[in-house]
Structure 1
Amino acid sequence: MSLLGKVAYITGGTKGIGYGIAESLLEKGMKVAISGRSPKSVEEALKNFNNDNVLGLVSDVSKLEDEVKAVKAVLEKWGRLDVVMANAGVGHFAPIDEMSDKDWHQMIDTNLNGVFHTLKASVEALKESEGYYMTLASLAGTNFFATAAGYNATKFGVVGFTQAAMLDLRKYNIKVTTIMPGSVATHFNDHVPSEQDAWKIQPEDIGQLVVDLLLMHPRTLPSKIEVRPTRPDLK
């Protein structure tokens, strides 16, 4: 069950978890398209990859037309699409009485509407390839906490959306999985990873998890996966 020559599209793939997943898939011989909202972030990621098997795309997942264009570009370049990873996400944290309307809607538009737009744009190609659609949710999609009403709402929604989509699409032999990480050492929310994040899940760990899912026998589907650091930060 080789992944050599298979094609993946990863939203939010210019850094963090998306970038780590892309690296892992490239190591297995796959062709990978990554997207980001800004041309600068895409250009920088392409320079870092320095790999002819990477396609960089500018797309705002909150806009269906952007995702349709992105998927079209992947198909025009490589003629197929086997794996789609809806990874793009944002987080704003504040008590609900202090949360702004702007921050609330940005999370809904990106984290929740975005996963629908990415699937809507790619589902026909995935039917053709009998491919795999994955979403990057969070343990915040099952565990609520103070200051996270908006973020919790989107991630609970992503989990529910993905599980229902799995039931809708399995008849086409499309696999659907949501991955729910705990603490990950990424640039999420403008964080800069450092040695102090060594206890956390690393982006390449999620990349390895995605590879393992892709290599699993077609008859078996882990549809919802919780993943967390082995040990919490001990200060």
Structure 2
Amino acid sequence: MDYKNKVAYITGGTHGIGFGVAQVLLSHGMRVAISGRKLETAQEAAKKLSSDDSKVLGISSDVTNFEDEQKAVEQIIEKFGQLDVVLANAGVGHFAPIYEMEVDKWKQMIETNLTGCFHTLKASFEALKKSEGYYMTLASLAGTNFFANGAGYNASKFGVVGFTQAAMLDLRQHNIKVSTIMPGSVKSEFNNHEPSDKDAWKIQPEDIGKLVWDLLQMHPRTLPSKIEVRPTRPDLKK
């Protein structure tokens, strides 16, 4: 599959996994739009990705707002003329025993992690239908493995996995491929973490980017619909 000059949209692409995926796709000749809640942050990240503004676009969008995602897709089509790949990557995490979980934090996780995936897909469906494109979600191993203090995060990511698998059955009728990627520990700024050399044992953002690229290279007849990926040696963190 030749993806040179194809267009990808990555939500939450200003840092971490989303930024790493954008770097890999750009290195293979794709054009990339990234979004964040603040326009200035998105534009600064786009400049870091490439000095060629014909290849990148920084967009302001809050995925909890459907109208924001509609406008984001409109901007992408206006600039690039098409949309071929969408990665719903934006996410937040708050961790506490369920009896201590604050209501607003619960709602933020569900609205961002789960409803955001729906908003992004709903907004991009017609463009992906036209291009016979690819929709991906960034879920988590927390979408299949529950843990203490993770009820809200587990609920959102279990939901993402279920949503994406059901959407796959709907969208393949329109020649749109759909996959969900479920990473374990990744080196990123997630949950206010400050990445350092101590994170060398973790999956790196560019590893997820390579995985996304590998999915794009699969023959159209074949669909890896759910991919679990883990650090090879998590004991190295000790």
Deviations along 1:140-169, whole A, 9 cap, x unmatched? 000000000000000000000000000001
Q: What is the correspondence of 1:53-202 to structure 2 with a 5 Å cutoff?
A: 53-202=55-204
RMSD: 0.8
Q: How big is the shift at 1:42? A: 1.1
Which SS does the other structure have where 1:9 is aligned? strand
Q: How big is the shift at 1:46? A: 2.2
Q: How big is the shift at 1:43? A: 2.9
Asked whether the equivalents of residues 43 and 57 of structure 2 are also in contact (C-alpha less than 8 Å), the reply is no
Distance 2:29 2:44 in 1: 22
Q: How big is the shift at 1:2? A: 1.5
* 1:51 and 2:45 are equivalent in the alignment: no
Which SS does the other structure have where 1:160 is aligned? helix
Which SS does the other structure have where 2:235 is aligned? coil
Asked whether the equivalents of residues 16 and 188 of structure 2 are also in contact (C-alpha less than 8 Å), the reply is yes
Identity of aligned residues (%): 73
Q: What is the TM-score of this pair, normalised by structure 2? A: 0.97
Task: Give the unaligned 5+ runs of structure 2.
Answer: none
Q: What is the TM-score of this pair, normalised by structure 1? A: 0.98
Q: What is the correspondence of 1:210-229 to structure 2 with a 5 Å cutoff?
A: 210-229=212-231
Structure 1: 4+ residue segments shifted above 3 A: none
Asked whether the equivalents of residues 43 and 59 of structure 2 are also in contact (C-alpha less than 8 Å), the reply is no
Deviations along 1:177-231, whole A, 9 cap, x unmatched? 0000000000001111110000000000000000000011100000000000001
